[in-house]
Amino acid sequence: MGIRLKVLFVLLVTCVLHQTLFAALRWRGVGPHLLLLMAVAGAMVGEADRAAVIAFLCGLLTDLFLQTPLGLSALAFSLVAVGVASVQSSVIRSTWWIPPLTAFFASSAGIVLYGLLGAIVGQSHLVRPVLLLVAVAVGGVNAALAPLMVKAMSWAMTDRVQSSFAR
């Protein structure tokens, strides 16, 4: 199976899980954001340009099920993915705790960025004190799920290029 097909497969599975199982398992309205995690994981294991495109698609799928304008999550996720990929490129030696830590900070940043960009395009209700709390909570849950997602994305995005987190 080619990289594109594998990524598409992971994207669809992640989207269905995000919209069904993980949308139902929430605590006080907050749960993991699997599509954001996929965008971050893609940036951890792949090249910046490819990660940005995957993150954009993850964001578009997220936007399809929200009331906020289409393209808002796509924009936020792409920026986060490029940021993660840039930082990731400077990692010389990987350890087991880097993916969860990266997922925590990147997911939190993604939520905050989504809120801030939303405020710019007229969704001012997204920026309120609880945003930071939600960002940290989503970051924490995504961090716990990061090893699994990184493995999935390593499988999907590995062809000739071997990721530092593939093993």
Q: Are 67 and 98 in contact (CB under 8 A)?
A: no
C-alpha 148/C-alpha 43 separation (Å) is 15
Contact flag: residue 159 with other proteins (CB under 8 A) = no
C-alpha 56/C-alpha 48 separation (Å) is 12
CB-nearer residue toward other proteins: 17 or 105: 17
Write out the two tokens for 31.
């749960």
Q: Which of residues 94-123 bind other proteins (CB under 8 A)?
A: 94, 111, 114-115, 121-122
Q: Are 8 and 55 in contact (CB under 8 A)?
A: no
C-alpha 115/C-alpha 123 separation (Å) is 8
CB of 143 to other proteins, least distance (A): 15
Q: Which residues bind other proteins (CB under 8 A)?
A: 15-16, 18-21, 23-31, 33, 47-50, 52-53, 56, 59-62, 64-72, 74-75, 78-79, 82, 85-86, 88-89, 91-94, 111, 114-115, 121-122, 125-126, 128, 130-131, 134, 137-138, 161-164
